[in-house]
Structure 1
Amino acid sequence: MADHRPSTRATAISRSARSAPKAYLVGGGIASLAAAAFLIRDGDIFDHNITIFEEFDSLGGSLDGAGSPDAGYVLRGGRMIECKYLCTYDLFASIPTLDERKTVTQEIFDWNETMKTSSKSRLLRDGQRQTAPEFGLSEKHILTIERLALEPERMLGRSSIADLFDAAFFKTNFWFMWCTTFAFQPWHSAVEFKRYLVRFAHMVGGFNRLHADGLQSVRFDGAAPAQVARSAWRDVRTEYAGHRLDCREADGTKIVMRIILDRAGHADEITVDSGDFVLVTLGSMTEASSLGTMDTAPTLKSKTDGGAWTLWEKIATRRPEFGCPSVFADHIDESKWVSFTLTLRDPTFLRLVGDLTGNVPGEGGLITFPESGWLASIVIPHQPHFIGQPENIGVFWGYGLHVDKLGNFVRKLMSACTGREIMTEVLGICGSRRKRQRFWKRLPASPA
């Protein structure tokens, strides 16, 4: 007679699974995806006990580059990695590529042996490329940078970069290359500037050609989130809904009691038990962003148009250990920026830029136009840039730091421009304004 009683081992596993802690990850960006992978790999958390909450309909956050040849591709931001990103490569070393032939880390290293970054046109002035431009720093500027790197942060206080340098510094090639690589503004914190100087000091030697020590590129945009997700995903749950946290104070600690989901006006609740984890990712650079079209400008939204800033404010209320969201969220007019993605059905523009810069797509990295009123930069990546992108389709990305200044050829604020107007300006600062008419019917663009 068969014994249908569960085995002791099966009972133990079932009991263990029921009593195991759960992890709730608020936000569906790369931070939460990486956290899920680390929790499974290093934290011994069952994948089915992990839930990711995302208010939009896709994962990836600021790394959500996607699209199609017909609708056009959209990149909401460019990402740079280099060989000192040890935690990133440690994670990627345990994650297979989508074709499962190698790890993501190995794919990145192999790709950078094939396509080495070496810009021949880091700066482009008056239609002329500048190869390995001199930094143009005075002795005073160099001494200030050295002092800044050594000075304790507490002595810098709330000073800005503009408080430490004279006006001439912000006209140097060093500043144009630095600020466009890391998206710095003169009013930004001197402490943050110092941290970047120290963190990326090893890159300065090749900074003007972007072949600085260890600078890396990835072959396909949008692949990393999919690869991280797939590696950990089998039974990880994803909830696409608006969400808020019900918290209480206990012994000086803020504890999450419930996660409340908004499903088209209907509220669902998830109870957080003792021993469970709630990880909240906040302050996304693309939170409350919007998309324009070839004929419409993107709409400037407020911090209340996305849930992340409101959630952070609630968590940090009377709790300074959770940071000060107002420092980041209450200066929209100063901190806003515009990026744009062009989907090309004609190879002429990529050939034009190749002739202008001396680099093939994927080789040159960031190209900055210091004379641009918008302080615009573009990147021509290796093609195809997206998995499944047809051979006859090209994609490039760009952005501006001075979005509330007039363009050189389009006399409008960049923040008020359509995709068509942005492309007009790009062609103008490339020295090709007269050629722009031939592109219009073939150039869907998405200013974001």
Structure 2
Amino acid sequence: MWFRKKKEKQSTTTCVESSLLQLSYQSILRATDGFSTQNLVGSGSFGSVYKGVLEASGAVITVKVLNLLNRGASKSFLAECEALKNIRHRNLVKVLTAISGVNYQGKDFKALVYEFMENGSLEDWLHPFIGMNEPETARNLNFFQRVSVAIDVAHALEYLHHHCEEPIIHCDLKPSNILLDEEMVGHISDFGLAKILFADKLNYSTNQSSSLGLRGTIGYAPPEYGLGSELSTKGDVYSYGILLLEMFTGKRPTHDMFKEGFSIHNFVMAALPERITEIIDPILLQERSRHRTPGNITFSDKHLQHLNSIFEIGLACSAESPSERMDMSDVVSKLCSIRDKLLRPTHYRHERQTYTAQSTGHAATVVGGNDTDLQALLQFKAMITGDQLKVMNSWNSSIHFCQWHGITCGRVKVSSHATTKVAMQGTCFKQETGAAS
């Protein structure tokens, strides 16, 4: 992340004192079990990230420990601390505190403590690692969830670019830096130690400061950065465009097929609009196929209708020329319009539904978060004593409940269930829930 320096630097202690949470090296050591490898979430040349649990409150935290052997790491700590304490947005990972002191060996120790994101990174969901005993469909995002996360990230970038005291450039937007909370809301994280280092090198020559290592990640960094151009918000817009294309094609920009001048941008542009189904993430095509049942075709078809618009936004953001790229405010507006159109045909209201087979006659309440929704749906399934058309065969733990037949989710919350005209009888109240935005 890059930002304009203030006239007066704030000390590390000021950053800690202004934090809501006061922690010591000892408390962080205990929270992470002595920085155990079992709690190691990730690592790189600029530091290591651990998951921890605070003894006093039981709160789960993320601890980023800086590698102070790296040149400029201490200054980077001050810069990142200063930036993070002055920005607040629901789609930015919240920094809880900063710690600066010495460890038990008497060596300097610096760390940043963040809120923990329950559902990992967007990378984990777009490109999941499938274990030997794990079904392939165990972790993936449906269409609406992808749209929602894309809007979350766009909102965060719009805030950084237009609503901070000085424009802030993240410089390293990519799926692994987008974290998802328990409600699958996206948060931009890792404001990039390398990018903070760049802020400390502004007095260096252009050639020195234009190193791609200080400007982003290959595949996501805009082409002008490799030519030594100055940082700008348009660089973040380019990275966002690549991210958006990746989210809906399921292909990394560094895929083996993208070489010799052929990029993910070219890949998508060549397919629009006639061959759009050829470039969609296969997971989304599977979702479309599963929902192609009588009376439920519109669910997938309306998604397909909007994919072209989403791809066009991704292409406009990832244009080669910075001047041709969209502004994040416009991106937010267009994506929110797409989301609203997706939700518009659905009317959430209390209504009574009649079925044509045997049921216990009890009501199924479908509200709340992941576990609450799951348990409510399983309870409803248990009430059904006859299912002649095997409608509920998909209602099992092999796939996420948002992909069960007849279930529609807003993010991961159930927004409606459509099981009319499927050979069941009895009554059930469908309760208004309202999809998350």
Query: Which TM-score applies when normalising by structure 1?
Result: 0.23
| Greater relative CO, 1 or 2 (CA 8 Å, sep 6+) | 1
Query: Which TM-score applies when normalising by structure 2?
Result: 0.23
